[in-house]
Structures are given as structure tokens and as C-alpha cells.
Amino acid sequence: MMKEVQMKTKQMRLKSIALIGLAICTVFSTAAASSAKPSDISGHWAEKKIHGWLDQGLIQGYPDGAFKPNSPVSRAEFMAMTNRAFDLTDSGSISFSDVKESDWHYSVVAKAIAAGYIKGYGDGTMKPNHPVSRQEAAAMVSSLLQLGSEETGEVLEKFTDKGSMAAWSKPAIGAVLKQGIMSGYPDQTFRPSQMITRAEAVVTLDRVLETRTHKVTYQEAGIYGGSKEAPITVKGDVEVKSPGITLQHMVIEGNLILAEGIGEGEAILTNVTVKGKTMVRGGGMNSILVKDSTLAVLVVDKVNGQVRVEVSGSTSVDEVQLESGAKLEEKDLQGSGFTTVIITDQKGQQSVVTIAGNVDKLQLNVPNSKVDVVSGKIGTMEVGKDAKNTEIKLGSQVTVENMTVDAPSKVTGPGTVKSAKVNVNGVSFERRPDKVDTPDGVTIKLPSPSPGPGPDSDSDPDPDPDPDPDPSQSGIFISADKATLKPGESTIVKVSVSAKDLYSGQLKIKFDPVKLQVENDAKLQLSNSQLNTSLVAAENVDNSKGTIVYAASLLRDRKGINANKEELFSFVVKVKEGQSASASAIQIESEKFLNSDVKEMSMDSLESLNLTIQP
């Protein structure tokens, strides 16, 4: 039997496919079933399977002691068996003229309709008491498993009666034959119009159950899964072999393999829970999109290339293991996102890992690692003893709360490291951490503590600071990395202040919400300014109104500071899609800065930023 099930686009409304035992309700008689073993299955081709089910109490015989394995099964009986097998409990609305609420099979039909694997006839009937033909059974099973259409020519060619198969049934027959769920007869016939027997129904559904506990494979572009109200459960592994595939509303109890066949294409997960590992072996820089999903362990292992994994909505990923280059990005996230990221064996590749988002713990365990953190907050960063010659770049939007370095490495970029514990020689920082701890005998390379002249320090992380600069002109200044943008592009905007005896400040900045929006969850990235290390009273962004409000104050005995174009905060602004050629300003709507005497200061200059939008 094939253990891989290829599914094609079709949505099923299943509450769950919890593969517990198949309990078939005996509906052939209203009398109590006999507990004796059936007398008419000895020597039957399905004897072993029927005995197994009888021993487990999954099926029963008739009161007269017979099982009647060769008797036909009605449509209602087949639906009852299927519903019980797959624990289908949701009921749909039905109005078939031949199904009344008083019928024993009323709820059975309602559940089958809700699951979507059977339909009524054009005349408004269900014909629940009609026998099920083999081609009808194939169609129901194919719909249940979402097998969809198959290339039937080669599969059906060997059957001498293929011409008698209904056109609507050929794709389903081809699919169930290809998966080994149904088979033909020794005389090379399939007998599509022949009624399926009780024995055949048991064996067919048993094969469906066995199939569902093995690997499910998707290899054609499309959308697969259940609905939000009724997700499906796959007991085994799932493999995605082609680009353009979306999995949604699905619980995978095994592993999810995003295979090499995805190439540089895209795969999407929406409301998917993976209890095993999610292994990414294919995909490009616009590739794996994960929304409202829960992944236990994500392993990125793509040979010769980088893959981008974007998480959004309520997504949570407990652990990420990077065995190759990758870009991890959080976007419009309400969930926990990436919790722990571990850079592990890179298999000799000189790969770059890029992170744009918040990570609780980042571990670097291999030499020659290159890590570019472009935005977000890292709770704990650990450079392990094996991670020699690691290069870490921290963007202006980045804060690392705690860093431990146990291997020679280099930290560059304007990002903030609040606390660094360096245990080895050969470590350098482009920007001085707020706090540095080193054991005796360890020296590190740090920048000058001020913009004034002076040699770099190879030790002494806490020299006496230089005097505050004396600004020649007071003002608020807004600048950007680039001032000309296309729709969809973004830039980093920085807000700085120059003032003497500065004690506190309030700012309200205005931008056009029709054209622009602040990214990174509409948050400001506070700088390492003395104002921000004392008390930040407000840091609010409202994209709907186009406003930014900032307020901060020193916590001192009425002693101000001299600030010379000292950065207060920055943010990432993006031009919305669909904008025509135009200009858009980011400007100061109001400001109020106080000196140490709590007197309002008059600013010499209030600069605005003019952005040019080019389609």
C-alpha cells in the first residue's frame, strides 16, 4: 500500500480526524446484535481483517450469528461507518425529500453533508437506502481524503471495463487506486457499478485509516486543509514538494517537511499546528509565510541559498534551529513569534542569518557566523565558545538586553547593548555597551566614550565620561536614511535634539496616514539618550491619525544636560502601496522642552523631513 497521500485543492468541513478506533454502528437490524462470532466469514478473503475488527468491538454481526460479508451496503450505512471512523460530529442543514427527522439516518446524513464528502441528487433526494456502488464509494473516499483529480489514463488503462466507468468517477477511482485504498479484481475488471459489500467497506475504510497514519504528500499548487471551525488532523508526517501550496486549519501530529521541490518558491501556513518538527529545505527570499500558527521546532536546512521565514498574527515558534542561512522576520505579530533561535551546524557554508523581530534568546554555536539583526529586541544573546570569528551587526532599531561572549567576535552597528559580559580576549564593539563586565586578564576593544578625540580603549569599560558638548544651535532635527522612496519601500527616520541645560521634553510629530505608515508594530526605537535612560513618559504611534507622541525627563536634582544633535528615537516609515508621485512631510506639530529651572526653552530650529514618492 502506498503510504503517501497526494491531496489536491478542496476544503472539507471536518471537526477533526482523530484516528481512534473505528467503531461501526450496526444498522442492519433493530434487534440486539449477537455476541457470538459470525459463522459465515471462515475462509473469506477479508476474514483476518473482519476478525480483527470484531475482536476490538469495532463491528458486530447479525442476531442470527451471521456477518453477511458479501451483502451490499446502503448509502446511509456507508455514511454511518465513515462518520464513526473519522469522528465527524458537526451537522449540516439538510432538506432532502426522502430523509425525515424521524429516520435513524437523519443525523448521519447531516454529518456527512457537513463534512462535504457526499452530495444529494439533482432531484432533491439522497436515496439513503440505495446500495453504494464501487465507483460511488471511491468518490466518497476521494472527497474525504481530498485526493482530488488524478491522471487516470495510465492507472485505469489495465481495466477492461474502464469504458463503463462514469466520467465523474474516473478521477476518484484513479486516485484511490493509486493510493492503494481500493483495487480491482483478478480478471482485470474494476466493476464500477457493482455494489460494494460489507467486507469491502470494512477493508476500504481500514486502508483509509492506515493511510492517514502515514505520510501525506502535497505536490501540486493549491489550498489544502479544513476550515476554521473544523480543522483536520493528520496523525503522521506531511510533506510539501512544490511551490504555491497553502496548508490551512490543520493539526499535524508528526513532522512537516517543506521539501527541496519548493525551490525558490513560496509555501503558506495558516492556522497550522505542528507537534513535531517543521523542516524547511526549500524556499526563497519570499518563501515561507506562517500566520496564526503554532510550531514546536523549526529547522532551516537549505543547501546553497537563503530562505525567508515570515511569521505574523498569533504565530508562536518555540525553537528555531538554523543549519543554513535564513532571514527570520516578524510582521504584524500578536503572538510570541520566535522564542529561541539557535545557530547550529552550517555544514561549512558561509551563510548570513538576518533577524527582524523580537527574540527571547539567540544562541551562536558555530565559527564564522554572520548575524545581521536589523530590528527588534534580543533578550539574551549568547556567543558560545565554539563560535570563533563571529560577526554580529546590530541595526539602529536593535536593543540587546544581555550579551555573553565566550569566543573572539566582532559586534558592529549602531544598535544598543545594555549589558555585555565578555569572558575572552579578541572581542570588539563598534558602539560601547551601556555596561561591560570582564574578568581579570581580559581586554576588549571599545570605541571612545565620546565623539571627542581620544584613543580607543582596549580595556577599562567605564572610563570617566568627557564633558557634555556645547551645542551652538538649539533645535529639533528630523532626518532619514533616504528621502526618495517608491510605494512599498521604507526608510529609517531619526529625531534628534540640540539644547543646553536640557531637563525634559515633549514632542508631537505629524505625518500623512494616507501615504505613510510606521512599521515594526508601530513602535518607536528609543536611543541610548540620557533622557531615555531616566524616564520615558510616552512613546506612542497612531497610524490611523498619523501622529507620534514622545515625552521623557531626567530624574535628577534639577540638573540638565547639554545635547548636541543627540538622537532621541527613530522609527521605520513605509510608503503605502498605490501612491502616485507626490511629496509627503514628517513635521513637528508641537514641542515643549524645559531646562533645569523648569522653564520652557525656545528652540532656534524646528526641522521637518520632506519625502519624495516616486511610483
Chosen domain end from 159, 179, 212:
212
200 and 349 co-located in one domain: no
Is 119 within 8 Å of 144 (Cβ atoms)?
no
| Lookup result for grid cell 486549519 | 249
Q: Is 434 a member of any domain?
A: no
356 and 498 co-located in one domain: no
Is 79 within 8 Å of 25 (Cβ atoms)?
no
Q: Is 452 a member of any domain?
A: no
pLDDT of residue 472: 66
Query: What is the b/e burial string over 183-219, where b = at least 16 CB atoms within 10 angstroms of the residue's CB?
Result: ebeeeeebbbebbbbbbbbbbbbbbbbebbebbbbbe
Query: What is the b/e burial string over 566-601, where b = at least 16 CB atoms within 10 angstroms of the residue's CB?
Result: bbbbbbbbbbeeebeeeebebebeebebbbbeeeeb
- The amino acid occupying position 613 is I
Mean pLDDT to the nearest integer, 126-137: 95
Is 215 within 8 Å of 185 (Cβ atoms)?
no
Q: Which CATH number fits the domain that encloses residue 519?
A: 2.60.40.680
279 and 407 co-located in one domain: yes
Between CA 69 and CA 97 the distance in angstroms is 31
User: Would you say residue 28 has pLDDT above 70?
Assistant: no
166 and 21 co-located in one domain: yes
pLDDT of residue 14: 33
pLDDT digit string, tens, across residues 70-107:
999 999 989 988 887 777 888 889 999 999 999 999 99
Q: How confident is the model at residue 537 (pLDDT cuts 50, 70, 90)?
A: low
| Lookup result for grid cell 563598534 | 430
Between CA 244 and CA 248 the distance in angstroms is 13
Q: Which of 222-236, 321-335, 341-355 has the lowest mean pLDDT?
A: 341-355
Q: Is 427 a member of any domain?
A: no
pLDDT digit string, tens, across residues 389-423:
999 999 988 999 999 999 999 999 999 999 999 99
Helices 134-144 and 170-178: angle between axes, nearest 10 degrees: 70
Q: Is 447 a member of any domain?
A: no
Q: Is 35 a member of any domain?
A: yes
Chosen domain end from 417, 441, 464:
417
Q: Is 465 a member of any domain?
A: no
Query: DSSP letters of 470-509?
Result: --SS-EEEEEES-SEE-TT-EEEEEEEEEEEEEEEEEEEE
Helices (H), 96-225: 106-115, 134-144, 152-156, 170-178, 198-212
pLDDT digit string, tens, across residues 215-246:
788 888 889 988 888 888 887 889 998 899 99
Q: What is the mean pLDDT of the chain?
A: 82
Q: Which domain holds residue 411?
A: 216-417
254 and 369 co-located in one domain: yes
Q: Is 445 a member of any domain?
A: no
The model carries a pTM of 0.47
185 and 286 co-located in one domain: no
165 and 237 co-located in one domain: no
Between CA 430 and CA 410 the distance in angstroms is 8
199 and 253 co-located in one domain: no
What is the DSSP pairing of strand 609-613 with strand 582-595? antiparallel
Q: How confident is the model at residue 464 (pLDDT cuts 50, 70, 90)?
A: very low
Chosen domain end from 212, 229, 244:
212
Tally of structural domains, the chain: 3
Other residues' Cβ atoms within 10 Å of the Cβ of residue 421: 16
Residues with Cβ within 8 Å of residue 138, at least 6 apart in sequence: 169, 172, 173, 175, 176, 182, 192
pLDDT of residue 462: 42
Is 578 within 8 Å of 514 (Cβ atoms)?
no
DSSP 388: T
53 and 202 co-located in one domain: yes
Taken as a whole, the chain contains a residue count of 615
198 and 220 co-located in one domain: no
- The amino acid occupying position 399 is T
Q: Is 444 a member of any domain?
A: no
Q: How confident is the model at residue 23 (pLDDT cuts 50, 70, 90)?
A: very low
E strand or H helix at 49, and its extent? helix 47-55
- Report the chain's C-alpha Rg in angstroms: 33
| Cα–Cα distances in angstroms (integers) from residue 373 to residues 315, 316, 327, 400, 425, in the given order | 20, 19, 10, 10, 23
Other residues' Cβ atoms within 10 Å of the Cβ of residue 134: 23
222 and 201 co-located in one domain: no
498 and 534 co-located in one domain: yes
